[in-house]
């Protein structure tokens, strides 16, 4: 069987996006709320609500591993990608430690 390889630059919508698969990754032209935050996809909203719930129940934010486990993702990079998008959209603020997630405006 002959399989044609498609060059990465020609794949268009199949190319991996740095935004965690959430749109085109550009937020500069997106509509914002009064705190300057960009609207979220349904999955991003689920992750944000999980973080809010976790903090309410435990008193501290979840780690990437705890987020990945809660959503059934196989690795922590999926959680990290979602957190990166939430930071870029100004919904979260992150520090350098494992439990340094803070919801913007709360």
- Looking at residue 31, its pLDDT comes to 66
What is the tens place of the pLDDT at every residue in 14-68? 444 444 444 555 656 666 766 667 888 999 999 999 999 999 999 999 999 999 9
- CA–CA separation, 12 and 19 (whole Å): 15
CB neighbours (10 Å) of residue 64? 19
What are the structural domains of the chain?
32-103 (1.10.10.10)
- CA–CA separation, 85 and 97 (whole Å): 18
What is the tens place of the pLDDT at every residue in 73-100? 998 999 999 999 999 998 999 988 889 9
Give this prediction's pTM. 0.69
Q: Residue 32 has what DSSP assignment?
A: B
């Amino acid at each position: 069987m002959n399989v044609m390889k498609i060059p990465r630059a020609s794949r268009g919508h199949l190319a991996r996006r740095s935004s965690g698969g959430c749109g085109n990754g550009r937020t500069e032209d997106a509509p914002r709320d009064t705190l300057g935050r960009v609207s979220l996809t349904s999955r991003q909203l689920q992750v944000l609500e999980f973080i809010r719930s976790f903090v309410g129940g435990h008193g501290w934010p979840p780690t990437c591993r705890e987020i990945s486990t809660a959503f059934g993702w196989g690795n922590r990079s999926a959680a990290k990608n979602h957190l990166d998008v939430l930071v870029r959209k100004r919904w979260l603020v992150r520090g350098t430690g494992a439990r340094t997630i803070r919801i913007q405006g709360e």
